[in-house]
Structure 1
Amino acid sequence: MVAMKIRYMKDNKSPGVDGIPPKLLLEIVEQISIPLATVFNLSLEEGIVPLEWKEANIIPSFEKGSRNKSDNNRPVSLTVVVCKLLKRLIKDHLVYFLVKNK
């Protein structure tokens, strides 16, 4: 499931604070999917998320109007790609459970 989720990731997204871009994960999907699954399972079993996964780079994202006015930008959090991957896996399992059990 981890390998499948990695393959469906968009490779043009920005990396988080760890500097690992999605494109790198796509290039090494066969080598990284089992170790990532192990880390994910351990994290879920122990109920602990690595502190680095909770950090984010906040950057301004232009909305409309003049680029010079701060009111025309909104903050965007660039979080760790691996953490986003885990969140998507959890969401998929939760949605499946809820649909199955109505």
Structure 2
Amino acid sequence: IIKPLAHIFNQSMNQAQVPDKLKSSQVIPIYKKKERSLPGNYRPISLLSIFDKLLEKLIQKRLHSFLAQHNILYDY
């Protein structure tokens, strides 16, 4: 499964596009506080696929590496 995923992730990075299948998520309401019958007392949480989380982590690492390599990030 590593080779197909690497190919998909690399294509995504090269084309600057995320595959449509990775854009979908399941949104569930999470109770915050007070009265449970009021919709405003819930917050939406998006459940993403593990593949979307992997791509997100990959992009974050590559972006951070690029910014650090080119001394773009401020130390503080």
TM-score, normalised to structure 2, is 0.75
Which residue in the other structure is 1:91 paired with?
60
For 2:25, the aligned partner's letter is A
Residue correspondences, number: 71
Relative contact order, higher structure (CA 8 A, sep 6+): 1
Q: Distance in 2 between matches of 1:48 and 1:98?
A: 20
Q: How does 1:18-33 map to 2 (within 5 A)?
A: 32-33=1-2
What is the Cα-based RMSD across aligned positions, in Å? 1.6
For 1:59, the aligned partner's letter is I
SS of 2:30 mapped into structure 1: strand
Gaps of 5+ in 2: 72-76
Is 1:66 matched up with 2:35? Answer: yes
Q: Give how far 1:44 is off.
A: 2.0
Q: Distance in 2 between matches of 1:81 and 1:68?
A: 32
Q: Give how far 1:96 is off.
A: 1.7
Q: Distance in 1 between matches of 2:13 and 2:55?
A: 10
For 1:74, the aligned partner's letter is R
TM-score, normalised to structure 1, is 0.59
Q: Give how far 1:35 is off.
A: 1.9
For 1:99, the aligned partner's letter is A
Is 1:48 matched up with 2:17? Answer: yes
The structure with the larger Rg is 2
Identity rate, percent: 38
Gaps of 5+ in 1: 1-31
